[in-house]
């Protein structure tokens, strides 16, 4: 390369290139603390690999909470006009697993470690809302609620997602609402 | 009567088992369908969640099948007691449907709702339609629970299907229906495809696993008032022979445990272990005949 063609230092600095750290977002995400087992963390990675390129591992918590809040909205709609928020026969958190045909909640004995997941503001509110409801009804913890959300996302990916070319979170959300509501 | 003793009362006192010696305040292994003693296994929980979801979502008919002694009637009692006390539901339970006749079934349902019974099917349907409209205006959803539904005939399914076509002003099903019966119910439903298509959910109650058997026994003792901090009445080793003998059917488990407890009180034992169960089964084969006569 001749001397005149050499890139200036400023141009090199301004050139767009992948950077380390959190990706820039229009609305910054919030930390939420949950206890996850090694298997659950592995599940997050597996799900990220199975979703399109536009969805990265960091988006999985948002996506899981989207599925959970949509399924809960379906439950609320079923009981709209009734005197209970969820059906009479839902007696504990495991009943929700059974209602939604999920494999039973795993108590694999794997040690759970507190970890922070980063979720968008709307999903943070949604998670808080579902956690509040299930905590009042069954004493469910935030970690249990997030574990339920992960299971629901896995079910969505396994059964309802096949072949969909949704490359962004917004498109995925549309798809989830279309399937469950 | 001598010195204030009433021989009849004394006889009754000796005939009544001393349940308090087991640390309970009521018989723990009654085979009556009592929702207070309903042990919720995974199958039961699945049926409860799915059926109650369909009922509250107004989806129409739900079906629960299970062999004899798997807890269908207890489940029917649970649904009836839970929904009967809700202000937004009115529940009617038909334990044993009348044979074959559609009109008789309609009359029976009408009687359960305290409605006037009529002699013609169309009149009875109209009576029922009026009732549904009145309930819908009050925001109340009627629920009909039919136990032993495997005995329903084709004509009766036809009338139920006609009733399921009634709509409330919002367009939803005007009443909800839960059918509980033996597995033949599923076979019978194939003969009435029009009705079968309207079934929103199907659940089955299967026999319990050994772990569930242990949980059922512990739950029953707890529900009868036994302090869980006390030494277990049934040792872990006693569970497997009980499960093997009863094949995991809840009613059979309760009947066997009832006899084991009576035997234990009789011989002044303080717990029930594997040897105790095996001895009992060798000596008292006749308890099974009692079971068959239930």
Query: Which residue has tokens 């009115």?
Result: B90
Smallest CA–CA distance from A100 into chain B, residue: B50
Q: Any idea which of A16-25, A29-38, B151-160, B250-259 has the lowest mean pLDDT?
A: A16-25
For residue A146, give every residue at least 6 positions away whose Cβ sits within 8 Å of its Cβ, in sequence order, or none: A32, A34, A36, A61, A64, A65, A117, A127
- Mean predicted confidence (pLDDT) in B23-36: 85
Q: What crossing angle do the helices spanning B154-164 and B121-137 adopt, rounded to 10°?
A: 40
- Confidence label for B13 from pLDDT (cuts 50, 70 and 90): very low
| Helical (H) or strand (E) element with A33 | strand A30-36
Are A78 and B57 inside 8 Å of each other by CB?
Answer: yes
Instruction: Find out whether A89 and B51 touch, Cβ atoms under 8 Å.
Output: yes
Cβ pair B221, B24 in contact under 8 A: yes
The pLDDT, as a whole number, for residue B266 is 86
Find the CB nearest B49 among A84, A89, A104: A89
H or E element at residue B199: strand B199-205
**B105 phi and psi angles, rounded to 5 deg:** -65, -45
A97 contact B CB<8A: no
Helix or strand (DSSP H, E) at B205: strand B199-205
pLDDT at A15: 77
Strand partners, B262: none
Q: Which of B40, B49, B82 sits opposite A99 (nearest CB)?
A: B49
Chain B's closest residue to A74, CA to CA, is: B57
Q: Is the pLDDT of residue A134 over 80?
A: yes
A87 touches chain B (CB under 8 A): yes
Contact of B188 with B150, CB cutoff 8 Å: yes
* pLDDT tens digits, one per residue of A60-98: 999 999 999 999 999 998 888 788 888 888 988 999 999
Question: In whole angstroms, what is the distance from residue B47 CA to residue B64 CA?
Answer: 7
**E strands of B16-171, at which residues?**
61-66, 89-94, 141-146
Whether pLDDT at B18 is above 90: no
Q: Is the pLDDT of residue B230 over 90?
A: no
What's the CA gap between B139 and B87, in Å, rounded? 9
Q: State the pLDDT at residue B10.
A: 47
User: How confident is the model at residue B201, as a pLDDT?
Assistant: 94
**Contact state of A87 with B53 under an 8 Å Cβ cutoff:** yes
Rounded to whole angstroms, what are the CA distances from B287 to B256, B292, B293?
8, 9, 10
> pLDDT of B42-53, one tens digit each?
889 999 999 999
The pLDDT confidence band at residue B16, using thresholds 50, 70 and 90, is low
Tens of pLDDT along B101-146? 999 999 999 999 999 999 999 999 999 999 999 999 998 999 999 9
A81 touches B: beta carbon within 8 Å:
yes
List chain B residues with CB under 8 Å of A97: none
Res. B214 pLDDT band, cuts 50 70 90: very high
Q: Which residues of A touch B82 (CB under 8 A)?
A: 88
Task: Please state the ipTM of this predicted complex.
Answer: 0.78
> Touching check for A95 and chain B: CB below 8 Å?
yes
Q: Please tell me if residue A83 touches chain B, with a CB cutoff of 8 Å.
A: yes
Please determine, for residue A161, whether its predicted confidence score (pLDDT) is greater than 80.
no
Sorted by sequence, the CB contacts under 8 Å of residue B65 that are 6+ apart come out as B72, B180, B181, B182, B183, B185, B186, B202, B203, B204, B205
Residue B2 has pLDDT above 50, yes or no: no
Mean pLDDT of the B37-64 span: 91
**Quick check: A90 contacting B, CB < 8 Å?**
yes
In angstroms, how far is CA B248 from the centroid of its own chain? 16
Q: Residue A90: closest CA among chain B residues belongs to which residue?
A: B49
A140 against A20, higher pLDDT? A140
Among the partner-chain residues A81, A88, A104, the one whose CB lies closest to the CB of B139 is A81
Cβ–Cβ below 8 Å for B57 and A94:
no
| Domains located in chain B, CATH noted | 42-205 (3.40.50.300), 208-293 (1.10.8.60)
Mean confidence (pLDDT) of chain B: 88
Of the partner residues A92, A94, A99, the one whose CB lies closest to the CB of residue B53:
A99
List strand residue ranges (DSSP E) for B59-164, in order: 61-66, 89-94, 141-146
Q: Which of B44, B50, B55, B56 to mutate to test the interface with A (most CBs of A within 10 A)?
A: B56
Q: Shortest CB distance from B40 goes to which of A82, A91, A104?
A: A91
Domain edges within chain A: 27-180
pLDDT surpassing 50 at residue B3: no
Give how far A13 is from chain B: nearest CA, Å. Answer: 59
* A81/B55 Cβ within 8 A: no
Give the one of A78, A91, A95 whose C-beta lies nearest to B56's C-beta: A78
- Judging contacts by C-beta atoms under 8 Å, the chain A residues touching residue B139 are 81
For CA atoms A151, A27, A167, A179, give the dihedral sign. Answer: positive
Chains A, B: CB pairs < 8 Å: 62
Core vs surface per residue B144-164: b (16+ CB within 10 A) or e: bbbbbbbbbbebbbebbbbbb
How far is A112 from B28, CA to CA, in rounded Å?
39
What is the SS3 assignment for A28? coil
Q: Select the more confidently predicted residue: A130 or A56.
A: A130
Phi, psi values for residue B204, rounded to 5° = -130, 145
- As a whole number of angstroms, the distance between CA B27 and CA B40 comes to 19
CB-closest option in A87, A92, A98 to B56: A87
B45 → chain A, closest CA residue: A95
- Cβ contact, residue pair A79, B56, below 8 Å: yes
Q: Is the pLDDT of residue A19 over 90?
A: no
A75 touches chain B (CB under 8 A): yes
pLDDT in the model for residue A93: 92
């Amino acid at each position: 390369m001749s001397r005149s063609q050499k890139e200036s230092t400023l141009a090199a600095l301004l050139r767009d290139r992948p950077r380390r750290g959190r990706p820039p977002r229009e609305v910054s995400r919030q930390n939420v603390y949950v206890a996850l087992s090694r298997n659950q963390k592995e599940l997050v990675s597996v799900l990220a690999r199975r979703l399109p390129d536009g969805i990265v591992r960091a988006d999985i918590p948002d996506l899981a909470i989207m599925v959970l809040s949509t399924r809960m909205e379906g439950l609320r709609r079923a009981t709209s006009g009734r005197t209970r928020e969820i059906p009479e026969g839902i007696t504990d958190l495991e009943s929700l697993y059974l209602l939604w045909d999920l494999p039973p909640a795993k108590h694999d004995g794997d040690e759970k470690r507190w970890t922070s997941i980063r979720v968008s503001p709307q999903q943070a509110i949604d998670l808080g809302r579902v956690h509040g409801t299930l905590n009042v009804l069954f004493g469910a913890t935030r970690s249990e609620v997030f574990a339920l959300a992960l299971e629901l996302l896995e079910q969505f990916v396994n059964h309802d997602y096949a072949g969909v070319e949704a490359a962004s979170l917004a498109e995925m959300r549309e798809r989830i609402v279309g399937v469950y509501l | 009567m001598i010195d204030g003793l009433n021989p009849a009362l004394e006889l009754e006192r000796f005939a009544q088992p001393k349940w308090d010696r087991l640390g309970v305040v009521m018989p723990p292994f009654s085979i009556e369908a009592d929702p207070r003693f309903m042990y919720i296994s995974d199958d039961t929980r699945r049926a409860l969640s799915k059926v109650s979801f369909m009922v509250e979502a107004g989806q129409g008919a739900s079906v629960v099948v299970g062999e004899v002694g798997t807890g269908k009637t207890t489940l029917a009692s649970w649904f009836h007691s839970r929904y009967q006390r809700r202000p937004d539901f009115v529940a009617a339970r038909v334990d044993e449907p009348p044979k074959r006749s559609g009109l008789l079934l309609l009359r029976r349902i009408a009687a359960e709702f305290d409605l006037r019974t009529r002699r013609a099917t169309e009149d009875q349907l109209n009576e029922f339609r009026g009732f549904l409209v009145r309930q819908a205006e009050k925001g109340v959803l009627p629920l009909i629970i039919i136990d032993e539904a495997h005995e329903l005939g084709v004509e009766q399914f036809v009338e139920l299907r006609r009733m399921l076509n009634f709509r409330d002003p919002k367009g939803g099903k005007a009443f909800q229906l839960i059918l509980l019966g033996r597995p033949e119910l599923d076979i019978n439903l194939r003969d009435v495809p029009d009705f079968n298509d309207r079934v929103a959910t199907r659940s089955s109650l299967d026999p319990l696993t050994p772990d569930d058997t242990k949980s059922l026994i512990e739950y029953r003792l707890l529900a009868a008032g036994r302090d869980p901090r006390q030494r277990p009445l049934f040792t872990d080793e006693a569970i497997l022979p009980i499960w093997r003998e009863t094949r995991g059917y809840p009613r059979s488990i309760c009947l066997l445990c009832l006899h084991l407890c009576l035997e234990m009180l009789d011989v002044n034992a303080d717990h029930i272990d594997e040897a105790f169960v095996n001895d009992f089964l060798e000596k008292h084969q006749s308890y099974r005949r009692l079971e068959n006569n239930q």
